[in-house]
Amino acid sequence: MDEDNNRIIEEDERQALAGLSLSVPPPRKSQSYSQQLRATSSHKCHSHVRKHSLDEVQVLKNIDHHHHNPYYDSSEEEFFPYSSSSTTSPTGERIDQSLCVEAGFDDSRQCQPLPEFIGSGGASGIFKVPTRAPVHPGRPPCLELRPHPLRETQVGKFLRNIACTETQLWAGQESGVRMWDFDNVYDPGCGLGGFGGRVKRGDEDAAPFHESVNTSPTLCLMVDSGNRLVWSGHKDGKIRSWKMDQPLEDTPFKEGLSWQAHRGPVLSMVLTSHGDLWSGSEGGVIKIWPWESIEKPLSLKPEEKHMAALLAERSFIDLRSQVTVNGACSLSSQDVKCLLSDHVRAKVWCATPMSFSLWDARTKELLKVFNVDGQIENKVDMSSVQQDQAVEDEAKIKFVSPSKKEKSQGSSFLQRSRNAIMGAADAVRRVATKGAGAFVEDSKKTEALVLAADGMIWSGCASGLLVQWDGNGNRLQEFSYHPCSVQCFCTSGTRIYVGYVTGVVQVLDLEGNLIAGWVAYNSPVIKLAAGTDYVFSLATHGGIRGWSITSPGPLDNIIRSELAAKELTYTRRDNVRILVGTWNVGQGRASHDSLKSWLGSAVSDVGIVVIGLQEVEMGAGFLAMSAAKETVGLEGSSVGQWWLDTIGKALEEATTFERMGSRQLAGLLISLWVKKNHRPYVGDIDVAAVPCGFGRAIGNKGGVGLRIRVYDRIMCFVNCHLAAHLEAVNRRNADFDHIFRNMVFSRSSNLLNNAAGKLPYPFLCIALVFSIYLPWQLCSSGLLLVLFGAAGVSTTAHMPRSTNAGGGNSEEPRPELSQADMVVFLGDFNYRLFGISYDEARDFVSQRCFDWLREKDQLREEMKAGKVFQGMREALIRFPPTYKFEKHIAGLAGYDSGEKKRIPAWCDRIIYRDNRSASVSDCSLECPVVSSILQYEACMDVTDSDHKPVRCKFNVRIAHADKSVKRQESGKVFRNDEKIRSILEELSFIPETIVSTNNIVLQQHDSSILRITNMCVKDTVTYKIICKGQPTFKEDAQTPNFHPRGGYGFPRWLEVIPAAGVIEPEEFVEVSVNQKDFLTPEEIADGIPPNWWSEDNRENEVILAVNVCGSCSTQTYSHQILVRHCYPGKSIRIDSKSNISRKNQEGPFQQSEFRQLSTSSLAIDEKPVKLETKTNSLRQF
């Protein structure tokens, strides 16, 4: 080509081509191929010398490297958004000579990387190489409290929830609880064996923590700041308490009070505004544990633990039984998913997946029952009856009823087959209709609930919908910023944080406007918890990150740039060699010698082995049953297991390698083996399967995949079997595209599948019919219609990731394969040689003129055109075509010589891509995975199949961040950077606020108004009123001791509404402080209330605290108010020097002015009070 002749071949590419044959192809002889092998005479050359195929290589002279565009870090799977920077795209074939690998092989020939061919089309769209960076610019910098642990290290210890106190972060796990102290969050990890040997794999890089003794799995956590306790609910039905301030040593700490609360698991807990503990369990069961019944057991000594548990167990109130009349209950029998205390109005919300119930926290009365649409429900719950009926209906679905069988004894087999098919089609229609309705209902399910600072209630749905409710259960408005399920909420100041199943975290204001959003993880965010300085997020894999409550803000860019400058400090590089093998076994079984020839000779210096097999087992019946099993989560076969065991023996599984994962889809099988000394660095095995056969539902063609994490980087291996036949090029391209776009790897949660609306049952019915009647009914149009109908119903569960965390869809969704650092495709791709005859192909093979044959390779041409395997790489082929051979015939003489005489072809291939977007890139955090191919060959001496096995050895260099060191560096930045300290001081500003009084005296049924005024002209204020304590008296003692109720709850005689809220600039709020009649069981002797006028009767006194902070502040001010209730006939006295005032005040009581609500209210003091008492200072970094 003239254009190619004008190009300059650079020196490195000349060296890459030096070892290739440049001989002129011999003329084709008329004798047979076997005769050619015996001939000894030399061949005459063509008079006209054809161009060598490699002379047509297009060399890119100017390759644009990445500029300083935002790159993305994959250390925790953050694979979007992608960099918008563009690189020069090849217009055709090009050769890439990779960097030389580091020393490791004794054979110098094997150390030299092979030249590679790179396909076009990899510079844009979903095939674009993901870009990385030391610090993720697409989200705020985070505190990596617990880096992502490998899933295999967390068996029995997965974290499931978190909760924050002022100074600690608590986490509930499958074997108890653990705690981090905020003073140590920047300290390095303790390494394996730290803390007296308690630190195991997966926690070696986590900040120092303390762990409890082993318990049943922890399902929920709740913080009681008033009593310095953390409460936990467990799978065994127990509620346990843990002291925040207990002395911690290297030994596991023990629980305090615990008792058997439920027969089933404790799913949710909450402390109400009056200090009572509410707990929810399965079947809609709600129990109340009054604070008076918990306070006594908490005061008992450890040796009285058994008595304390008995006292607590017998003191509950069963709310469900109280509202059940004549066996009818208006409450849902579904599991209690969430309990929420409305501190503003003294109410409690109980949420099941499809309904809510609203309760009075003081009187425990049921106020309202309504569904997720806000419609009031007063009918008896029928969910259990409906479920039973659904099971009965499904049991009635049969292909042919017994009565029909009896009547059809004399009919023909064809008639019976037709009846079966029509019955299955009817089953599809009925179940599909039911399934579609179920999907609509599932999308409305409530997943999370939260109380905002302004008193509004927010609920999150499985569809991603955010719903705002008022305090009375009226649905106000809804918002949709993300298409996937909401998993959790938390609030900090005037901000609402939302965690999604896709790993996205969004920040909203109180009006529901989206402030910011980012990808926190590549797995679901299952819990959020707000602390003093950070909002912590927990992912399903157990990783915990802290996000500054000031983010997004000016701090982010400063921290990001400082950490990026320290990249060399925390960057680590490792090297691993991977052997990838593919073999179409043609439904046969290999001998041990064949496997040793294929694998055994190449695994001595590799750490990871990936094996892909095709046509392990075929046949119409097997394929149909395999498809049916797939729909219910079953896979594998006895033949597949035989192959796994046999490969294990060849790899010396017992002593050298460990099998870590496998996946089978009909005849496709992929398996992963890791050398034992590499085992600590490889994990998070996920699998996937995409059928491409009949109706995109049968697995005779398709792909199976494995995804692993190696040194904190993601690698995917996909074993494919694409469409056959010479002319099916477009179908093969379409199969690849379908696999690439739809491969979704399984995770620890099935939430994504549910969100995708997968309906497996119709396809199961059809697959069963297909497996029974296929041989006799292929020509029946009825069957084809049924099968196509099934394929339309059973869709692949695919939730592509949006590249816009803010809720937009401006960019094309990214398949999971496009997010990995390295992707390897292996298998029988079935691409053939075109424009060449059988005899010509064999002639070229006999002379080893593979460069000429590459001109006729369909796959090479399609990759040049950017139609398949876009932007991926393959080593130049130097081995004979691997298809098609006669079994058990050795050497090249084994090529197909039968009637069809299939043209030899390189059907079996191994193709990959890494993080490189240019031909040569250094391994760094910007380009963390750089691979080169050391071996690419076929094992021609193996004759057990009509295909030859192929193997490819990779040398992979991996750059990753040491999370422990990086966390230390983050701490240094916070402590030493003056700009950061200055900004934090500015953000800690609290608007000036005035409270109208510091003393309130109430008589019987009295009400008073407390006014809180925001004097600032530009910033809002949030406030919350709590009860610091109420008096308790010892025998013969007149001086009370103040002990707060649970969660700083109010006494039952006192009502404060609204107890929390938001005050706009230069505005005020009026809080009603009311005295209410309420007698506890302790106040009643033999059913007779005490005499209010008796001499032994004492006044009720409590101290309220008004806590005020800015809208986005890390600092809080507090003002104390003494509230006293006097009975009629008692003289009113206020003693400013009383023990009450001296014992509990945090700031001085000052003269104040008080506005009365009634003539019986008594106000003392005349001067308003300006808040000046600081309770929670800014944490020092």
Task: Report the first-to-last Cα separation within the chain, whole angstroms.
Answer: 67
Domain membership of residue 213 (yes or no) is no
Q: How many CA atoms lie within 13 A of 685 on its CB side?
A: 19
Which residues are CB-contacts of 1075 (< 8 A; sequence separation ≥ 6)? 1002, 1003, 1004, 1005, 1006, 1007, 1053, 1054, 1055, 1125
pLDDT (0 to 100) of residue 722? 95
Closest CA to 931 of 572, 576, 573: 576
pLDDT (0 to 100) of residue 378? 64
1015 with 1106, same domain? yes
Q: Which CATH number goes with the domain that contains 1155?
A: 2.60.40.10
What is the pairing mode between strands 682-691 and 702-710?
antiparallel
pLDDT (0 to 100) of residue 741? 95
741 with 769, same domain? no
pLDDT (0 to 100) of residue 463? 94
DSSP strands (E only) in 692-829: 702-710, 713-721, 822-828
What is the pairing mode between strands 268-271 and 277-280?
antiparallel
Q: Structural domain tally of the chain?
A: 4
How many C-beta atoms lie closer than 10 Å to residue 1033's C-beta? 11
CB 241 within 8 A of CB 255: yes
Alpha carbons 378 and 370: distance in angstroms, whole number: 8
CB 227 within 8 A of CB 246: no
Q: Which CATH number goes with the domain that contains 509?
A: 2.120.10.30
909 with 1002, same domain? no
* Domain span including residue 537: 445-550
Read off the tokens for 507: 């920040």
Phi then psi for residue 972, to 5 deg, are -65, -40
911 with 1028, same domain? no
Largest CA distance in the chain: 131
Domain membership of residue 218 (yes or no) is no
Alpha carbons 538 and 545: distance in angstroms, whole number: 7
Residue ranges in the chain whose pLDDT is less than 70? 1-111, 191-198, 378-441, 631-633, 747-812, 919-920, 1031-1041, 1078-1099, 1127-1181
Alpha carbons 52 and 415: distance in angstroms, whole number: 63
1005 with 1042, same domain? yes
Q: What is the dihedral of CA 893, 895, 898, 902, to 10 degrees?
A: -150
Closest CA to 1152 of 992, 1008, 999, 993: 999
Q: How many CA atoms lie within 13 A of 464 on its CB side?
A: 20
947 with 992, same domain? no
pLDDT (0 to 100) of residue 414? 55
Q: What's the one-letter identity of residue 694? A: F
Q: Which CATH number goes with the domain that contains 623?
A: 3.60.10.10
544 with 633, same domain? no
pLDDT (0 to 100) of residue 377? 78
Domain membership of residue 385 (yes or no) is no
pLDDT (0 to 100) of residue 48? 36
pLDDT (0 to 100) of residue 71? 37
Q: How far is CA 915 from CA 71, 574, 841, 863, 865, in A?
A: 12, 15, 36, 19, 22
Q: What is the dihedral of CA 993, 996, 1002, 1005, to 10 degrees?
A: -80
**Strand, helix or coil for residue 873:** strand
Domain membership of residue 369 (yes or no) is no
CB 549 within 8 A of CB 536: no
Alpha carbons 453 and 466: distance in angstroms, whole number: 16
Which residues are CB-contacts of 188 (< 8 A; sequence separation ≥ 6)? 964, 965, 967, 968
735 with 765, same domain? no
Q: What's the one-letter identity of residue 1030? A: Q
Domain membership of residue 398 (yes or no) is no
pLDDT (0 to 100) of residue 762? 43
Which residues are CB-contacts of 87 (< 8 A; sequence separation ≥ 6)? 63, 64, 65, 66, 123, 917, 918
1043 with 1160, same domain? yes
627 with 708, same domain? yes
DSSP 694: G
At which of 501, 533, 550 does a domain end? 550
Chain segment 203-249, per-residue pLDDT in tens = 889 999 999 999 999 999 999 999 999 999 999 999 999 999 887 77
pLDDT (0 to 100) of residue 1040? 62
pLDDT (0 to 100) of residue 193? 52
495 with 610, same domain? no
Domain membership of residue 303 (yes or no) is no
Alpha carbons 386 and 245: distance in angstroms, whole number: 49
What is the DSSP annotation of 228-284? TEEEEEETTSEEEEEETTS---SSPB---SEEE--SS---EEEE-TTS-EEEE-GGG
630 with 692, same domain? yes
